[in-house]
Amino acid sequence: MAILVVDDSASMRQAVSIALKKGGYDVVEAADGKQALAKCTQKFQAVVLDKNMPVMDGFAFLKEFKATPQGRFTPVLMLTTESRQEDKMEGKKLGLTGWIVKPVKGDVLLATIKKIAK
């Protein structure tokens, strides 16, 4: 299994991937929610999800992902520059496991993933 990393910023995806691979995780990357959904033919241990993305943003992806049989039980961590309380509450309602505000150190992200990944 692997961790799915969804972010429209290539450098962000790369930084997150490096941190997770250091922890021994395999990583699959997607540049937006639509790409991410297309990759959900396999199971993931967790999803690291950006909020603001073109084509399909983080919340739109989350809604569709949580409606799938495997997505329901897959932890999703939001990793975003946003920190509005309303967004966090909306995310929780949609089934988010956690919320981390960018920028985050690689080892902090890895420690969080270790706690939530299946």
Task: Report the C-alpha gap between 29 and 13 in whole angstroms.
Answer: 7
Q: Is the dihedral of CA 23, 28, 32, 33 positive or negative?
A: negative
The Cα 14–Cα 59 span in angstroms is 22
32 forms part of the interface with Mg ion (CB under 5 A): no
Binding map of Mg ion across residues 70-109, x = CB under 5 A, - = no contact? ----------------------------------------
Tokens (6 digits) for 87: 């967004």
**In the complex, what is the shortest distance from the CB of residue 55 to Mg ion, in angstroms, rounded to a whole number?**
11
Q: Cα–Cα–Cα angle for 102, 106, 112, nearest 5°?
A: 80
- In the complex with Mg ion, which residue's Cβ is closer, 24 or 56? 56
Asked if residue 50 binds Mg ion (CB under 5 A), the reply is: yes
Span from 23-31, 42-50, 67-75, 87-95 in contact with Mg ion (CB under 5 A) = 42-50
- Residues of this chain that bind Mg ion (CB under 5 A): 8, 50, 52-53
